[in-house]
Amino acid sequence: MCPGKNAEDPRSHNRVVTGQRIRVLLPLPLAQPYDYSTTEQIAPGTFVEVPLGRRSAIGVAWDGEPDRGLPAGRLRAVTRVFDVPAMTPTLRRFVDWVAAYTLSPPGAVLRMAMSVPAALDPPAPQAGWRRADAAPAGARVTPQRAKVMALLADGAVRAGGEIAEAAGVAPALLRGMADAGLILPALLPRARRFAAPDAQRPGPALGPEQDAAAAALRASVARRAFATTLLTGVTGSGKTEVYFEAIAEALRAGRQALVLLPEIALSTQWLDRFAARFGAAPALWHSELTSRTRRDTWRAVAEGEATVLVGARSALFLPFPDLGLIVVDEEHETAFKQEEGVVYHARDMAVVRARLSGAACVLASATPSLESTTNAETGRYAALHLPARHGGAAMPDVTLVDLRRTPPERGRFLSPPLVAAVSETLARGEQAMLFLNRRGYAPMTLCRACGHRMRCPNCTAWLVEHRAQRRLQCHHCGHVEAPPEACPNCGAPHSTVPIGPGVERVLEEASALWPEARRLVMASDTIPGPAAAAAAAKAIQDREVDLVIGTQIVAKGWHFPHLTLVGVVDADLGLAGGDLRAGERTFQLLHQVAGRAGREERPGRVLLQSFAPEHPVMQALVSGDIDAFMAAEADARRPGHWPPFGRLAAIIVSAEEERAAERVARDLGLAAPGGEGIEVLGPAPAPLAILRGRHRRRLLLKTRRDIAVQPLLMEWLAKVDPPGNVRVQVDVDPVGFL
């Protein structure tokens, strides 16, 4: 056959060489892979470098047939193949799956799986020295040189600095020895970057219910097949110890385990317990790692060296070659939802990744989501339950303080019953906690003279006073300004007053009431990272603190043995607003924070201050009857096909110019899909109608459960062509409705 017009003979054409065509997916917001040519066999999953425009880019050889119609002469060639384990078929399918489900470009999802391009290059080998096989005749061996030779006995290779230090010689001496032919340069063996957790170490003796649950999880892991188990149990029942046994089983099976935690920075107690159980720390994955650690971790996961990895939601996209178990702890947490970029729910995607990997998946929580509860009821998930606290500790006694009957003094926020309870607790030498899910001093600042409220210039939001830092701050966009000397509206001097409490204001009140008590505030601005969280937890554990005042940070899985009283300053706070899950959320948060009380010998008490003590959420918190509460929630959602009994997707249209957003939203409204079991709500201004200077409109698509929203959305969005200054964002299974 003669070379045709495509001139595929490399000798006649020095630019394009060929033989093979492959598809390469690039980590860019592109809808599909691009085709390239190559002279080598390149298997799908291989990391490759390719030209892209005038630059080059790193991507992954993807599955599927290249476009044969494209003339070979137009194809550009792969320029480099990386020496790193290929992306597994499982992870490639996962990228495709997440892209299709969230309606994101596959390349945008791939970017999450390639977040550390530097890890694709093998780590640079470190140079050291070894002894020459035979000392050259005439080479002088001084006592110092002899010491070095002794250190390098038996073919050892050691780093220069290390030799110099161990032998107590100057580095220059080594150079002299090398010149004399006594030692030779050599590559150091690569050190293990991650110690291996030891599955053979015995765990604690489990109680009978823990034991039964652990056995079921071990069996699930040992089957090496996909199954999801919802592990529930009252706060302090020892769920962590139970799923540790599942991790041990995965390790014994030679497979990897991934644990997702909602907030790694607040998980120091968890990490200590892991190290105590397995004799080594797990590998970690979160946004605050150094780039070096990210690189090492990514590669150690890909090479199978990191066997247990604990991470935030983005850890789902790490290159595990053989995942045997995924645990999602505190599965009800909204922190698992990523709201920027690719909008996905890590709990749900964890189940998908486990399915693709043939792995066991464990969802754990004392307050499971209605989604997971329903899946357990219908048999999609297996269910395990721990009914009692570990070690015989009792559940705390929860009572309501009716703020209409026993209100705090004017300008105060702690009612007489709560003040009395804190005083008693402190007098007994026990610890108390006051919970208010609001940062700062006051959520709103008002002018006493004209009623003007201080608001954010970029958002539909009040400015929150942070008195300690002497500033007003927007909690949505980060805008900061100094508190005004005079009202910006009427000019009245020193006329502004704070309205309502934040934790700083509760601290002020507590300082006046209990000046002797050692107080600690735990909020995201006072506990900025893992080190601060660890220090705070230690101070509480070591009884260096009497009174903890905190935001939702204090609700997260802490085990404080001496804490016996929890006071909730404003139990009604989360119920405002029209969020479909407001009740469920409030119940979960307050039940979790209540669950911090009385976890060891001494019994715990919880006081909830409320203006609506008859509200079902308050009543459920008092009775502790989660099942009844969730059943009522389910009954409320079922008839209207609200999740989990129907499907939801939100469309958020935003633009700097209000009319532009309005126009696109209206067009979307006109093009909305319809039919049986399909409903579109909106367009309507979002509750946060302006965010970071952008005007926002929302539409909500609600369908019956048996109708997939993705095809409807695709068809719908294709009918409207928004101008470049208007952003249209899709959120499948929204959890936030702002």
Ligand X SMILES: Nc1ncnc2c1ncn2[C@@H]1O[C@H](COP(=O)(O)OP(=O)(O)OP(=O)(O)O)[C@@H](O)[C@H]1O
Number of Cβ atoms within 10 Å of the Cβ of 369: 25
- Which residue is listed with tokens 């309502």? 500
Q: Which is nearer to Zn ion, 251 or 474 (CB)?
A: 474
231 binds, among ligand X, Zn ion, none (CB under 5 to 8 A by kind): none
Cβ at position 334, least distance to ligand X in Å: 17
- Under 8 Å CB-to-CB from 194, ≥6 apart: which residues? 280, 283, 297, 300, 305, 306, 307
The token duo for 611 is 């203006």
The token duo for 723 is 């101008």
241 binds, among ligand X, Zn ion, none (CB under 5 to 8 A by kind): ligand X
474 binds, among ligand X, Zn ion, none (CB under 5 to 8 A by kind): Zn ion
Q: Which is nearer to Zn ion, 99 or 689 (CB)?
A: 689
Tell me how far apart the terminal alpha carbons of the chain are, to the nearest angstrom. 65
Judge whether 477 is annotated as a binding position.
yes
Q: Which is nearer to Zn ion, 464 or 597 (CB)?
A: 464
Q: Which is nearer to Zn ion, 245 or 465 (CB)?
A: 465
Pairing label, strands 308-311, 256-260: parallel
Cβ at position 462, least distance to Zn ion in Å: 10
Q: Which is nearer to ligand X, 189 or 204 (CB)?
A: 204
Containing 541, the helix (H) or strand (E) segment is helix 530-541
157 binds, among ligand X, Zn ion, none (CB under 5 to 8 A by kind): none
459 binds, among ligand X, Zn ion, none (CB under 5 to 8 A by kind): Zn ion
Q: Which is nearer to Zn ion, 112 or 688 (CB)?
A: 688
> Which residues form the interface with ligand X (CB under 6 A)?
204-207, 210, 233, 235-241, 273, 366, 390, 557, 559, 595
Cβ at position 459, least distance to Zn ion in Å: 3
State the Cα–Cα distance between residues 609 and 407, nearest whole angstrom: 9
At 626, the amino acid letter reads I
For the beta sheet containing 308-311, the strands, ordered from the edge strand earlier in sequence to the opposite edge, are: 283-285, 308-311, 256-260, 323-329, 360-365, 227-233, 382-386
Q: Which is nearer to ligand X, 363 or 689 (CB)?
A: 363
602 binds, among ligand X, Zn ion, none (CB under 5 to 8 A by kind): none
Q: Which is nearer to Zn ion, 72 or 691 (CB)?
A: 691
Containing 540, the helix (H) or strand (E) segment is helix 530-541
Cβ at position 267, least distance to ligand X in Å: 11
Per-residue exposure over 471-501, b if at least 16 CB sit within 10 Å of its own CB, e if not: ebbbbbbebeeeebeebeeeeeeebbebebb
433 binds, among Zn ion, ligand X, none (CB under 5 to 8 A by kind): none
State the Cα–Cα distance between residues 564 and 184, nearest whole angstrom: 66
210 binds, among Zn ion, ligand X, none (CB under 5 to 8 A by kind): ligand X
366 binds, among ligand X, Zn ion, none (CB under 5 to 8 A by kind): ligand X
State the Cα–Cα distance between residues 581 and 588, nearest whole angstrom: 10
Q: Which is nearer to Zn ion, 458 or 729 (CB)?
A: 458
Judge whether 456 is annotated as a binding position.
yes
Cβ at position 244, least distance to ligand X in Å: 9
State the Cα–Cα distance between residues 352 and 357, nearest whole angstrom: 9
> Which residues form the interface with Zn ion (CB under 5 A)?
456, 458-459, 474, 476-477, 479
Cβ at position 600, least distance to ligand X in Å: 8
Q: Is 402 exposed, middle or buried (0-12, 13-18, 19+ CB in 10 A)?
A: middle
Cβ at position 656, least distance to Zn ion in Å: 14
H-helix segments, 44-200: 89-102, 106-113, 143-151, 160-167, 171-179
Cβ at position 472, least distance to Zn ion in Å: 11
How distant is the alpha carbon of residue 577 from its chain centre?
A: 25
For the beta sheet containing 80-81, the strands, ordered from the edge strand earlier in sequence to the opposite edge, are: 34-38, 20-25, 55-62, 47-52, 80-81
443 binds, among Zn ion, ligand X, none (CB under 5 to 8 A by kind): none
State the Cα–Cα distance between residues 318 and 298, nearest whole angstrom: 7
Judge whether 2 is annotated as a binding position.
no
Cβ at position 736, least distance to Zn ion in Å: 16
- Under 8 Å CB-to-CB from 96, ≥6 apart: which residues? 106, 109
State the Cα–Cα distance between residues 402 and 433, nearest whole angstrom: 19
- CA-to-CA separations, 304 to 285, 362, 648, in angstroms, rounded: 15, 21, 38
Cβ at position 613, least distance to ligand X in Å: 25
State the Cα–Cα distance between residues 590 and 373, nearest whole angstrom: 18
Q: Which is nearer to ligand X, 213 or 712 (CB)?
A: 213
Judge whether 490 is annotated as a binding position.
yes
Binding residues: 447, 450, 456, 459, 474, 477, 487, 490
Binding residues for Zn(2+): 447, 450, 456, 459, 474, 477, 487, 490
